[in-house]
Amino acid sequence: MNPTEFQPTHVVPPSGLATWAEPDPSRPSAGLDPLLPVQAVEYQGDWTRVVCANGWGAWVDGRLLVALPRGPEGTASPLTTATDPRPLLARLEQALAGYRRLLDELAAGRLELGAFQRQAAGFRVGAVVDGSSAWLLDLERERWYYCAGAGLQPYATVQPPPGTAAADSAAGSAPGERGEPR
């Protein structure tokens, strides 16, 4: 798949996702990172073959994927403060710049690997930009947004459904453990 053809259809759940080379549990592969946008390209029962933006693909338990529906075409109405994507983009840029600074310090030898790992723990940034469309992760509101240049449309929450073991675990975690910006 050509990276320009990548159209995310789902997001990996907050706990990450195991993968398999084939729809066969005896052929495990590398895991997918939490909240990673993926494109479902093939289905076999509960198995779903997904492809990442870099073209890597694997089979997953499709029941665990979080749907990321295709956003509607843009509207002609002007942006409002609630739908203007620029503040969210600025926060994403700041988070990415903070991570880049840590990498620069590590590469320059001013930061040891253990210190880098401690300081980088909790960094979460999510953005997929495809031409005039974008899927942006807003950790303050704990949801993914779709933007077609005309505004933000909320789609997927990063929190597990209430009453699940994952939700109970997330509710008991300390700030930063679920990836809130610091």
Q: 3-class SS at 14? A: coil
Q: Provide the residue ranges of all domains of the chain, joining segments of one domain with +.
A: 3-67, 86-163
DSSP 8-class letter at 174: P
Q: For residue 59, list its beta bridge partners.
A: 20, 49
Q: For residue 17, list its beta bridge partners.
A: 32
3-67 is classed in which CATH architecture?
Roll (2.30)
pTM of the predicted structure, to 2 decimals? 0.46
CB-based contact 94:50 (threshold 8 Å): no
Strand order in the sheet with 66-67: 57-61, 47-51, 37-44, 10-11, 66-67
Residues 84-129 pLDDT 10s: 888 888 888 988 898 999 999 999 999 999 999 999 887 888 888 8
Select from 31, 25, 88 the least CA-distant residue to 56: 31
Distance CA 152, CA 137 (A): 11
Residues 24-83 pLDDT 10s: 888 888 899 988 899 999 999 999 999 998 889 999 999 999 887 555 444 444 444 457
